[in-house]
Amino acid sequence: MEGPGQSLDTLFGALADPTRRLILDELRKRDGQSLFELCGRIVSFYDISLSRQAISKHLAVLEDTGLIACTRQGRTKQHSLIRPEALQYAERWIAAHRSELTNGSGKGETI
């Protein structure tokens, strides 16, 4: 089953990585950041030691998944959140399977 340009596996795979979720959180807090800015914020605020190359690879996965977009401004790339429909696709899948994901008590408790 595919949504807007990606499979659920690709989307959930991208969201499964804690570093990529951290990057998405940072872009949600302050959209339109360069690689340099993201690296600085991640190292400063989260005390995580990641190289620019590692963060760049995570950004590429998020871009391929359709969760972020990169636009050039001079010699730098600005990374921005896009396509909330990619997340809405996952939300629709979860909603459709919610009853299967609960213990059947009707209280919405997860297994």
Per-residue pLDDT tens over the stretch 12-63: 999 999 999 999 999 999 999 999 999 999 988 888 888 999 999 999 999 9
Determine the 3-state secondary structure of 60 from DSSP. Answer: helix
Determine the 3-state secondary structure of 37 from DSSP. Answer: helix
Q: What is the pLDDT of residue 3?
A: 47
Its domain, for residue 68, covers: 8-98
Q: Indicate the pLDDT class of residue 69, thresholds 50, 70 and 90.
A: very high
**What CATH number is associated with residue 72?**
1.10.10.10
- Neighbour-count burial for 96-106, b at 16+ CB within 10 Å, e otherwise: eeeeeeeeeee
Percent of all residues in the chain with a pLDDT value above 70, rounded to a whole number: 84
Q: What is the pTM of this model?
A: 0.76
Q: 104 in a domain, yes or no? A: no
* 64: pLDDT strictly greater than 60: yes
Residue 81, beta-bridge partner list: 68
- For residues 46 and 30, what is the distance between their CA atoms, to the nearest angstrom? 15
Better pLDDT: 83 or 8? 8
Better pLDDT: 3 or 59? 59
Q: 110 in a domain, yes or no? A: no
Number of separate domains in the chain:
1
